[in-house]
Amino acid sequence: MLIKRWLKNKIIESLNDPRITILYGARQVGKTTLVKEIIKEHNGLYLSCDEPDIREAFSNKTSSAMKAFIKNATFVVLDEAQRVENIGLSLKLLHDTYPEIKIIATGSSSFELANKILEPLTGRNIPFMLYPISYQEYSNTVGELESKRLLEQRILYGMYPGIISSTNPSFDLKIIANDYLFRDILKIDTVRKPIILEKLVRLLALQSGNQVSYNEIAQKLEVSRQTIMQYIKILEQAFIIFRLPPLSKNKRNEVTRFEKIFFYDTGIKNALLDNFNSLDKRHDKGSLFENFFISERIKQYQKSGNHTRPYFWRTKDGSEIDLVEETYEKLEAFECKWSETSIKTRAWKNAYPDTPVTLITSKNITDILNT
């Protein structure tokens, strides 16, 4: 099933931009498929940096040597560019010497790729982030009725392109979670305790949607808080998790200390937990539904182009709102409940009387995500 990605048009527009286009995204989210579509339509040259000869051709080479390799191509894609040694310097040299050549570089680890390109390509790159398929993209392809019918499947198995069309999604998700994602992370030099990293990401999967104490995690895994923070940053930069900070507008009763951690894809979270039971058999149904909605909203921020900042809200006496979005100082609030029809919002109304709370349930989530 080929699902049209809205980011495609943005990248095509960037072909007219003299800067180098950088496409970030986790492995298996569809970067290669997307750039190959663009190459086919715009007569480009595709080079996979997973190939040893391609890496050699762009590692510490002169601009003339790189130009000789790509010959007369005026549009070149370097896929998995982080595999090339000193790729930032190579791209800078090629770009400065032959500005007529349009370059797209993709990478599955922002930790590696950003470190290698940011300084050499300052002012010379335009970045894009490709997430797993959004629910709206999925719905536009399969139809609104079908996407509603398969909502629980998408919450359980997530939105990776290959998983949506898989006949054995739980098996294929475990391969992605344990092979592709960790393969990138464990190559990073600063990961000196891979067993701790694996325990950490599974612990985060268990605690997803709850406030996280990094000190408690450090004690539980018997490592320093500094190590935990370092590994969480790596998991963020590998596009596995993201942090949600607490909203605080200087209200004395608001919790400001702890963050929440969510997964970009609920299928990956379930693969780490080895739990693909139906929602009616799961005690974490609420947090899983919450994670799905918040991750989908983050995909929508990118499409809208608005500078939206997401938060959660909690008071010291336990009142909570799952998601608060701030866009140009305007707030929107959402509370996620799979099946409930009412929520308690008195504390929120007292604190922010001008911002109503939208209740998100299994009945209306598809309408919200398709707008």
Residues in the chain: 371
pLDDT band of residue 115 (cuts 50, 70, 90) is: low
Q: Which residues contact 259 (CB under 8 A, 6 or more apart)?
A: 211, 212, 243, 244, 245, 246
Tokens read off for 110: 């922002």
Please count the helices (runs of H) and the strands (runs of E) in the chain.
Answer: 19, 12
DSSP 25: -
Average pLDDT, the chain: 91
Of 176, 367, 140, 134, the C-alpha closest to 269 is 176
pLDDT band of residue 371 (cuts 50, 70, 90) is: confident
pLDDT of residue 92: 92
pLDDT of 51 > 60? The answer is yes
Collapsed DSSP state (helix, strand, coil) of residue 36: helix
Say how far apart CA 27 and CA 176 lie, in whole Å.
8
Return the higher-pLDDT residue of 257 and 55: 55
What is the set of domains in the chain, with CATH numbers? 7-129 (3.40.50.300), 135-369 (no CATH)
Tokens read off for 334: 């959402």
Annotate 91-143 with DSSP letters as a single string.
Answer: HHHHHHH-TTSEEEEEES-HHHHHHHHTTTTTTTEEEEE-PSPPHHHHHHHH-
Of 39, 3, 52, the C-alpha closest to 154 is 3
Collapsed DSSP state (helix, strand, coil) of residue 16: coil
pLDDT band of residue 187 (cuts 50, 70, 90) is: low
Which residue is listed with tokens 């004690």? 219
pLDDT of residue 104: 97
CB atoms within 10 A of CB 149: 12
pLDDT of residue 191: 75
> What does DSSP say about strands 320-327 and 308-314: parallel, antiparallel, or unpaired?
antiparallel
What whole-number percentage of the chain has pLDDT above 70? 95
Q: Which residues contact 245 (CB under 8 A, 6 or more apart)?
A: 259, 311, 312
Q: What is the mean pLDDT of residues 171-195?
A: 78
The phi and psi torsions of 248 (rounded to 5 degrees) equal: -145, 115
pLDDT of residue 239: 87
The amino acid at residue 203 is: L
- Name the helix (H) or strand (E) containing 286: helix 285-304
Inter-residue contact 17 to 95 (CB < 8 Å): no
